[in-house]
Chains A and B, each alone.
Chain A
Amino acid sequence: MASVKKETDRLIDHLSVIEEAAEDILSDKQQIIEFDLRRNKTREALRSLQKSNKEKKSWICIGGMFIKMPKKTAVKMLEKDYDELEKEINETRTKLKPKVNKLRDLQNEDDIKGFGLEPLSQSEVRAVERLL
């Protein structure tokens, strides 16, 4: 009886490890979506600020509060946000890969073919494009 219990515990442990890894991946994916949403909103804001060039100052909503600030400062802030978001998205994407690999490993699946490859550069792709 004890051995059955031990086996069950082991199984549950194993499953929870897999579940945890999968959950991690899902949350990362969700995070990328959130980031992309913010990135697009920031881009839209930047665009609309660029367009309205009449006033020196403009209204900007930060965290549920409207603040009037000089346009230059606003643009600078948004640009910084944008760059930060871009960096964050790339980082999450890069981190996602080993996680997916780990999950496949836990589930006893083979690695995806060519998963670990570095991508070809633009010019290299163009050279072999006709083959692809």
Chain B
Amino acid sequence: MKLLKATTFLVAATMATGAVAQQDGGRLDLIVQPEPPSLMLGLVQNAPTQMVAGQIYEGLLRYNTDLEPQPSLAKEWSISEDGMTYTFILNEGVSWHDGEPFSSEDVIFSTKFLQDNHARFRGAFSHVESVEAPDANTIVIHMKEPYGPFINAFEAGSMPIVPKHIYEGTDYATNEMNATPIGTGPYEFVEWEKGSYIHLTKNEDYYIDGLPHIDDLYYRVVPDAASRAVAFETGEVDVLPGGAVENWDVARLTEMDNVCSSSKGWEFFAPHAWMWLNNREGPTADKRFRQAVMFAMDREFVKDVVWNGFGTVPTGPVSSKTNFYTDDVPQYPYDPEKAKELLDEMGYDGTPVRLLPLPYGETWQRWAEAVKQNLGEVGIEVEIDSADVAGWNEKTANWDYDMAFTYLYQYGDPALGVARNYVESQIQKGSPWNNVEGYVNPEMDKLWEQAAVEPDNEKRQELYTEIQQQIVEDVPVAWLLEIEFPTIYRCNVKNLITTGIGLNDGLRDAWIEE
């Protein structure tokens, strides 16, 4: 098994050096799980949709695995010093898959289109005053206020550019072209055999010379995890995206000949797992109890055993892969004695607590059992609740839990993916993605607000460091793991993962060695 080392592979570098003996041609079979509901990325942003449609549609920018912006539809960009104006210079000679030319008009149209259909885009764009296109290849965005994380909101999943000539003046949701998506990306849509495969083919007129390399992409739909593993073993499939097979199978598959794996390509999402701890009532309302939970859990054990060594034990709310992370916070090593002391100190009376696992398969069930056992050993009696996905959503969204597993994406910046879980304005019944635990700290709220609009990155770091230190002390939720979903692929597939969203836009640069 070879682990792909930090391939902070700059696209510019590839293009400059040109011939690193990259070979053109070939066919690549990938798994997509589950089958996406649609490929129209402007309307639907499910994970499987992003994975396939990210080859068809493009954003203005891409991000490398260090989350630094890279050229995509925009070849150059600049931010004014006060953080109030963003200017993008677009690539020339770009055309849509149907041959129509692409221009700044399409970008302007997309901002309108997405405001109606894309919740996360709407959030980021609420800081925007106006957008203008001084000429066919320039876009200027004027802000209402400086908003640091804005520069992280331009990749294909956050802001896919959609064709104006197809959607203008139509009802977007029922436009029949949604079934045959037209983008500017390196691959064109050919055919979608429902329940079986999605076929994309090389865009011969792609605006970057020499790209893409591969002729045909087949995204295969295989509903059962064990069958997906078998499909990879028999050579029917070349790439298993993260999460396509159970963790236990990962070790077995990566021991095969000519099989590589990489945990890169998730930096932008940085999936962060934790347990919601109900801050409102019961023993979990006491800070000492929550700290005891942190000390009682053997998180390294879970990482090694349940996740087969993949992932990192987090220090707090911000993933180490996300910008503005700090490890200068109170630490919670596995220390059952310390946990017992804290419980004694608060006078915990042995009230049992309920634990709601995430209904996403065996891995999560085993995880809940391990936590139950850990907590039981320091004297906390845990009853595991059971619920299907709908029941889990309902219980967490309506605060009917004591402790509940979850994991959420961070989108590269604490203001985009972290703040929502800890500020008071995000306490709202009905959503399982906001401040579900009910953590209230007005001082922190002020700091969050300040940090989001601070134009200077060093000052932002200071603010976020302060926030992380305080929040880790309070333990509003119990952080469990920075999840890594290893991508498993044949070693002769090269340059597969070069960006912070990995497979979602990575096929542009990939090639197959014969």
A binds B: no
